[in-house]
A = this chain, B = another copy of it.
Amino acid sequence: MLADLIFSTPPIETVFSDATELRLMLAFESALATAQGIAGVIPAEAAATIADICRQTNWDTESIRQQTLLAGNPAIPFVSALKERVRQEHPEAVHYVHQGATSQDVIDTVLMMQLKQGLVQCQADLNQLTNQLAILAKAHEHTPMMGRTLLQQALPITFGDKVTGWLDGLLRTAERVKRVENECIEIQLGGPVGNSVSLGERGSAIRARMAELLGVGNTPYAWHTQRDRLADIAATLGILNGSLGKLGNDIILLMQTEVGEVREGAADGKGGSSSMPHKRNPVSSTFMVAIAHRTPGLVASMLGAMVQPHERAAGAWHSEWPVMRDLVRLTAANLSHANELIRTLEVDTERMKQNSTVPD
Chain B residues lying within 8 Å of A229, measured Cβ to Cβ, are 172
A147 interfacial contact with B, CB 8 Å? yes
- Encode A313-325 as 1/0 by CB contact (under 8 A) with B: 1111111011101
List 14 additional contacts besides A256-B258, A296-B299; criterion CB under 8 Å. Answer: A3-B65, A5-B66, A71-B271, A103-B273, A147-B192, A148-B311, A149-B276, A149-B312, A150-B279, A169-B227, A192-B276, A250-B310, A293-B305, A297-B300
Chain B residues lying within 8 Å of A260, measured Cβ to Cβ, are 360
Chain A residues at the B interface, C-beta cutoff of 8 Å:
1-7, 16, 18, 21-22, 61, 64-79, 98, 101-103, 106, 147-158, 161-162, 164-166, 168-169, 172-173, 176, 191-195, 197-198, 221, 223-229, 231-232, 235-236, 238-239, 241-243, 245-246, 248-250, 252-253, 255-260, 267-276, 279-283, 285-301, 303-319, 321-323, 325, 355, 359-360
Report how far A175 CA is from B287 CA in the complex, Å. Answer: 34
Report how far A226 CA is from B73 CA in the complex, Å. Answer: 29
> Quick check: B307 and A274 within 8 Å, CB to CB?
no
> Quick check: B79 and A274 within 8 Å, CB to CB?
yes
22 contacts between A and B (CB under 8 A): A2-B21, A5-B68, A72-B270, A77-B269, A147-B193, A148-B309, A150-B312, A153-B257, A176-B228, A226-B246, A235-B303, A242-B307, A249-B309, A258-B355, A285-B314, A289-B319, A290-B316, A293-B304, A293-B316, A296-B299, A296-B304, A299-B303
Chain B residues lying within 8 Å of A360, measured Cβ to Cβ, are 257-258, 260
> Quick check: A157 and B195 within 8 Å, CB to CB?
yes
Report how far A227 CA is from B2 CA in the complex, Å. Answer: 21
> Quick check: B315 and A293 within 8 Å, CB to CB?
yes
Report how far A281 CA is from B75 CA in the complex, Å. Answer: 14
Which 8 pairs of residues, A with B, have the shortest CB-CB distance?
A: A289-B315, A242-B306, A147-B193, A297-B297, A235-B235, A149-B312, A293-B319, A290-B318
Report how far A303 CA is from B236 CA in the complex, Å. Answer: 10
> Quick check: A228 and B169 within 8 Å, CB to CB?
yes
> Quick check: B301 and A299 within 8 Å, CB to CB?
no
* A65, A231, A245, most chain B CB atoms within 10 A: A231
Tell which of B195, B267, B271, B281 touches A147, judged by Cβ atoms closer than 8 Å.
B195
> Quick check: A74 and B231 within 8 Å, CB to CB?
no
Knowing A2-B74, A68-B2, A101-B275 touch, does A169 contact B307 (C-beta < 8 A)? Answer: no
> Quick check: A308 and B246 within 8 Å, CB to CB?
yes
Knowing A161-B195, A168-B223 touch, does A314 contact B151 (C-beta < 8 A)? Answer: yes
> Quick check: B288 and A5 within 8 Å, CB to CB?
no
Chain B residues lying within 8 Å of A270, measured Cβ to Cβ, are 70-72
> Quick check: A253 and B72 within 8 Å, CB to CB?
no
> Quick check: A322 and B300 within 8 Å, CB to CB?
no
> Quick check: B235 and A306 within 8 Å, CB to CB?
no
> Quick check: A243 and B226 within 8 Å, CB to CB?
yes
How far in angstroms is the closest Cβ of chain B from A162? 8
